[in-house]
Structure formats: C-alpha cells, structure tokens
Amino acid sequence: KYLFRQLVDYNNAVANRNHWSTGEGWCLGDSPSIGLLLNDHGYCCETHPAPLFSEDMYYIHDQKNRPIRIYQEIDARFVLEDFYAKLALNYGK
C-alpha cells in the first residue's frame, strides 16, 4: 500500500508537466527491481559470492564476499501486470 501511494503521489505531483518522463523516470513503474521485491522468483536464480572490481573495472572473484542472487530470468509478465493493475486502480480501465 505504501509503494502504491508513493506511485500515485508522484504521478499527481508531475501531472501538470508539459512532457512525460521516459521509462527510467517512472517512480516504481515497470521495474524488474520492484518485481523482485514483490516476488523474489527464487526458482530462477543462483547464489554466488559478490565479485570485487579492479581499478580497470574487471571482476575479481575471491569467494570471500557476501552472497548475492544472480537471476537468469525475471517474469516480465508479472512485473507488467502489476504495473497495469496499478494504472487501472488509479486511472480506471
């Protein structure tokens, strides 16, 4: 409910602009990160130690860092349907 309220408040705050934001500017829109917060899709990820980065931006795998999830896929339909449901609740069908 909190995240939805933030989405509604943000869109109401910018409703009178002359232009719309691009996809990256949508607050809590169709983002894979938000989809993973709603449903972590634990069935399609692997856990690996987080890599380090060298000064020239190469990965350093020392196997000592905290575990992170690496996703092979994200359910785009789930993410988009959640976004469409928010739009329908706020703006009607």
Residue 60 lies in a domain: yes
pLDDT band at 23 (very low <50, low <70, confident <90, very high): very low
Residue 82 lies in a domain: no
Residue 67 lies in a domain: yes
Question: 35, exposed or middle or buried, with CB in 10 Å at 0-12, 13-18, 19+?
Answer: buried
Q: What is the pLDDT of residue 48?
A: 92
Residue 84 lies in a domain: no
Q: What is the pLDDT of residue 22?
A: 46
The pTM for the full model equals 0.49
Residue 37 lies in a domain: no
Asked if 60 and 20 touch (Cβ cutoff 8 Å), the reply is no
Residue 28 lies in a domain: no
- Asked if pLDDT for residue 28 goes beyond 80, the answer is no
Provide the domain count of the chain. 1
Residues with Cβ within 8 Å of 55's Cβ and at least 6 positions away in sequence, in order, are none
Q: What is the pLDDT of residue 50?
A: 92
- Domain of 65 in residue numbering reads as 47-71
